[in-house]
Structure formats: C-alpha cells, structure tokens
Amino acid sequence: MAITLKSDHVRKSIGTEQTFREISQPEELRTKCQELCQEVVEDLKLRNMVGKVVVLKYKTTSFDSHTRNHSLPYHTADEEVISNTARKLLDAEIAAVAPKPLCLRLM
C-alpha cells in the first residue's frame, strides 16, 4: 500500500508492504489491507504530508507481482478515504479471479 505525495521534498511516495503466510480469504485480505493503510496514514501524518494516488501492490503465492493505482480528485491524509480506495482496488482484484480465490503472500 502506498500513496504518492504532494511535497516540495525529493521523496515521491510513502508506503509499506508486508510479507505474510498465504492468505486467500477475502475478509483476511481486507483486514491486512486496512492495517497497511493505517501504517501509511500514520507515516503521512507524522511527516505532515498528503498524497493523491493510492497504490496497491501485491504478490501472489506464485510470486507474480501486480500493482494497481487510483488517482484521487484531491490530496489527502484521511484514513477513511485512503482505506476505502485501497479496498476498492483490492475488491476489484478479488472479483477479477473469482470464483478462484486471490491467494497473496505480500501486500
């Protein structure tokens, strides 16, 4: 999970990712995504920054990497906005492979 920044600084994004045991249950994936969004928002607020593009990066159990992003209409550090956007990206990926489960090792 990452977000691009509005900043005069050199850094262009803030993000976090985590490797974990295989997760294929949609609710577990959503919970993991929410936790990562919380970490990103905490980092944004700590640095007094806002972002505009929410990025979902994930790796499947077969080690295929995927990146999806969504540009927001405004810059934000609002946890609800960032989390809801990331969840929509994740839900689209879950729906794309249905009826098979989306099995992830990294997000």
**Containing structural domain, residue 63:** 38-106
Tens of pLDDT, residues 8-45: 656 788 999 999 999 999 999 999 999 999 999 999 99
Report the number of distinct structural domains present in the chain: 1
What pLDDT is recorded for position 51?
Answer: 94
Cα 64 to Cα 3, 11, 57, 61, 103, distances in angstroms = 21, 27, 11, 7, 11
Residue 13 lies in a domain: no
CATH number at residue 97: 3.30.1490.100
On whether the CB atoms of residues 93 and 102 are closer than 8 A, the answer is yes
Residue 5 lies in a domain: no
Residue 78 lies in a domain: yes
Residue 96 lies in a domain: yes
